[in-house]
Structure 1
Amino acid sequence: MAAPLALLLLLGISLALAPPLAQARSLRFVTLLYRHGDRSPVKAYPRDPHQESAWPQGFGQLTQIFVRSTDYDRTLMSAETNLAGLYPPQGQQMFNPNVSWQPIPVHTVPDSGERLLKFPLSPCPRYEQLQKETRHSAEYMNKTRQNLEFLEMVANQTGIQDVSLESVWNVYDTLFCEQTHKLPLPQWVTPDVMTQLKQLKDFGFEFLFGIHQRVEKARLQGGVLLAQIRKNLTLAANASSPQRLKLLAYSAHDTTLVALQMALNVYNGRQAPYASCHIFELYQDNDSNFSVEMFFRNESGREPFPLTLPGCAQRCPLVDFLQLTDPIIPQDWERECQVARDGQDTELIVALAVCGSILFLLIILLLTVLFRIQSQPPGYRHVSNEGEEQP
């Protein structure tokens, strides 16, 4: 019995002298940004056989189902539906045994005042200037040239006067919604046509937030939302912060997801499908430091895809995440949106001023000459005597 007792005593001493077990890594805060669910088309093209009367719920509305959300029915309804699934009532929350739902507030602002979730943000003159430059980029011009005949065909078939790389997404969106809801498509809409429309629609998203000066576009667009997300992550990691939120959800649009992912440089080049979700998870690690992990869920039948911020690991330390994303965070959005005057503008202004001055002097000289002519006294005129009778 002595040997086992000594062994137990030795084990007890070892456990007492051993350092305490490291605290397990814990999830502290989650931010979700998701696209709304299935909806009807936003609008129909002029020759579309399926006008608004074909959609009982009207244009741009969710089907089947009637947090921070943009002020659109489809995003508000998606937010309510997701909340109903996330937080079914329990115990005292059950106000009706036949209703497995509890009311949860969804915060929004009027569409005219939306400056966080609806992209592209406007008015922003500098962004518009960048878009003009993008239209003159080699990539944009080559894409237009390669698809010119196809775009003209789409314009003729739809009755839209001007179909461009920027507007063709409207046609694809309408046809996609009609196809999804088993409505017959016009004969000209073949599988190859739908494939090409989809490719051009995806290119249109890149045009909005990339191709040319991606980082500056990010500061004026997706960087605005990312700045708020960074702020929320920082507050959640601050022990002295009054914020005790565990989850923050944004109900928005495909352009919202693209703007954010283009800013983070993790965009996969394809439109975010209905209900797809970009996830930010903030963890407190074993050493009490914090790290950020990102995921993208765009398929219902599988786990979310891990996303890696360029320059960092998939499990990115919070301090590195903040440092790497600093270049795409606007410091003063209103100021950065202003158009800077370059040397050519200055030369043009000077040239116009010189021309205006010369024209003004010429007008003064002409008026002076006319005034002098009018001010001279009338002289004598010689009267001819031709035709008078001779004596």
Structure 2
Amino acid sequence: MNTACMHQVVFLVLSIQLVARGQELIQANLVWRHGDRSSRHTYPKDPYKDVWKDGSMQLTEQGMSQEYDLGLFLRSKYGHLLSEKYREGEIFIQSTNIDRTIMSAQCVAAGLYAPKNITKWNGIFSPWRPFPVHSGGGDWLHQLYQDPEHGCPEYEKLMRKIRVSSAWYTETDTKYAEFFKNMTKFTGSQNVYTIDTIGGLYDNLFCLKSNGFKLPDWVDGVTMDTLIHLEGVKMGLSFTDYEMKYAKTLSKMRAGIVLSHMIDNMDKRIRGDTKYFLVGYSGHDVSVGPLLTSMGAYNWINPPYASCAMIDLYREKDGSYFVKFWYRNDSNSDPLPLNFYECGHTCSYETFKSVAAGVVTDGDTPSLCGLNKDNKSCSDIAVPVGILVTILGLCIGVSLCFCVARKRKSVNSDDVQYSPLPMHMSGGNNQL
């Protein structure tokens, strides 16, 4: 029996057990990472500068297969919710406006609706058919990918503050100084690598390795393990901070948007305002990672290609609702049931929403990011009537944005549980 059939049998049995207990799965909200891609970084001594025939950061054939397999898995898990053939109103998929995520979404859909027989459309016999994937430069999911680094001034400001004040960065720069120096020498880079820039080198080597290329002789097992370690931790520290002083705010800026939309989808399903059984978001590691972090489930390992976080909404026979959280980070294994917040693997919907309120944006991302409704920063809102009036306008604008952000509904930081720090960050002995 192949893997897809095994998954289907397992989830069919689970579905029967739930129905027997009067529990019904009524909606699934998913966010997945694109598949394997070409690298985004090169360096002066890179022997593979021109190896990517389709260009940089493009989905590879391996990546297409990974996403197709994800679609097959989703069919095995959620097939009882969906028609065998695509029907408008049952499923909605949105992608960032990036080539590799749009293509990944199409591949997921191809696996999710893989025809059992050869179908015909446009006069062509094919085992595939077109599928609607929503994307666009102005949509929120694309903005989440572009922001906060390029469009959320408050995030940039906060990250700079953390970078300067956090002892972890200083200690890491010192601890890995020799490693960074060696990587700079081997690559021929003009600027010495740091914790902030080493991710580019990791990306280059990882992409080459995953596509079967022989790495340079100076890349041994220890080197790759160190790069993987640094990338995973640095990834996590773009969603939260070592000292956990700004964890809730950072979660709002990074994961709160996705989580807000997922909760809105579930609210609509409960009210009967939507018939969508499955809502999927095709994104990046910076789409999956923040969601895991905000729910206290990030394992400090960069979300792999085609990884998928799933929040399932169930209805009890008494009319109440609960959610379950899953994470699929290995195509060869069943998804992991993740413990989140104080709930464990299963959480009543009311408790879930109550705790999540501390990290969702409530649709007020512009204020949170220090932007006005026209997406201009508060520092740009000044009436050009003399220098004094301009300065006063600037001060008032900044103050108003700060006040709005401060008045937003929130809970104490202690009320939201975040992922525990990995051993290497909390004083353990497994340091590289």
Match of 2:369 among 330, 337, 344: 337
2:253 corresponds to which letter in structure 1?
L
Residue aligning to 1:109: 136
Please state whether the residue corresponding to 1:176 is helix, strand or coil.
helix
Q: Report the 3-state secondary structure (helix = DSSP H, G, I; strand = E; otherwise coil) of the residue aligned with 2:340.
A: coil
Match of residue 222, structure 1, among 249, 252, 255:
255
Q: Distance in 2 between matches of 1:112 and 1:223?
A: 15
Give the root-mean-square deviation of aligned CA atoms. 2.6
* Residue equivalent to 1:37: 35
Give the length in aligned residue pairs.
Answer: 319
The question of 1:145 aligning with 2:145 is answered no
The SS at the match of 2:126 is coil
CA 1:81/1:44 → structure 2, altered by over 3 Å: closer, same or farther?
same
Higher Cα Rg: structure 1 or 2? 1
Query: 1:91: Cα distance to partner?
Result: 8.2
Q: What is the CA-CA distance between 1:170 and the residue it aligns to? A: 0.9
1:258-284 C-alpha deviation (Å, 9 max, x unpaired): 111112221011011111100111111
Deviation at 1:89, TM superposition (A): 3.9
Equivalent residue of 1:328, what SS?
coil
| Structure 1 segments unaligned to the other structure (5+ residues) | 1-20, 342-352, 354-391
For residue 209 of structure 1, what is the aligned residue in structure 2?
239
What is the deviation of 1:217?
A: 0.7
Other-structure match for 1:253: 284
Is residue 83 from structure 1 mapped to residue 113 from structure 2 by the alignment?
no
Equivalent positions of 1:195-344 (< 5 A) are 195-211=225-241, 212=244, 213-239=246-272, 241=273, 243-331=274-362, 332-338=364-370
Report how far residue 119 of structure 1 moved.
Answer: 5.4
Q: Does 1:28 align with 2:4?
A: no
| CA–CA separation in structure 1 for the residues paired with 2:20 and 2:212 | 57
Give yes or no for contact 1:119–1:259 (8 Å, CA) kept in 2.
Answer: no
Deviation at 1:203, TM superposition (A): 1.7
Aligned to 1:178: 208
Aligned with 1:209: secondary structure? Answer: coil
CA distance in 2, matches of 1:181, 1:220: 34
Q: Distance in 1 between matches of 2:110 and 2:206?
A: 28
Q: CA deviation at 1:94?
A: 4.0
Q: Distance in 2 between matches of 1:169 and 1:117?
A: 17
d(CA) in 2 for partners of 1:298 and 1:22?
Answer: 30
- Report the alpha carbon displacement of residue 287 of structure 1 after superposing the two structures with TM: 1.3
Cα distance in 2 between the residues matched to 1:264 and 1:132: 24
Q: Describe the shift of the 1:145–1:102 C-alpha distance in structure 2 as closer, same or farther (beyond 3 A).
A: same
- In the superposition, the TM-score normalised over structure 1's length comes to 0.76
Unaligned runs of 5+ in 2: 1-18, 66-92, 372-377, 379-390, 392-432
CA displacement 1:323-342 (0-9 Å, x = unmatched): 01101122422222239x9x
CA contact (8 A) 1:118 1:256 kept: no
Aligned ranges 1:368-379 → 2 under 5 Å: none
Of residues 103-112 and 165-174 in structure 1, the stretch that sits farther from structure 2 once superposed is 103-112
- Determine the C-alpha separation between the residues in 2 that align with 1:151 and 1:123: 30
Contact between 2:24 and 2:314, CA under 8 Å: does it hold in 1? Answer: yes
Q: 2:161 aligns with which of 116, 125, 133?
A: 133
Partners of 1:162 and 1:100 in 2: how far apart?
Answer: 50
Q: Summarize the Cα distance change of 1:305–1:250 in structure 2 as closer, same or farther, 3 Å threshold.
A: same
Contact residue 39 and residue 203 of structure 2 kept, 8 A: yes
Tell me the secondary structure at the aligned position of residue 126 of structure 1: helix
- Secondary structure class of the residue paired with 1:58: coil
Give the distance between the partners of 1:271 and 1:196, measured in 2 at CA: 13
Displacement after TM superposition at 1:235 (Å) = 0.8
Instruction: Name the SS of the counterpart of 1:54 in structure 2.
Output: coil
Deviations 1:194-234 (A, max 9, x none): 11111111121022111241111111221111111111111
What letter matches 1:335 in structure 2?
S
Partner residue, 1:61: 58
Cα distance in 1 for residues equivalent to 2:39 and 2:149 = 22
Alpha carbons of structure 1 residues 116 and 285: separation in structure 2 relative to 1, 3 Å? farther
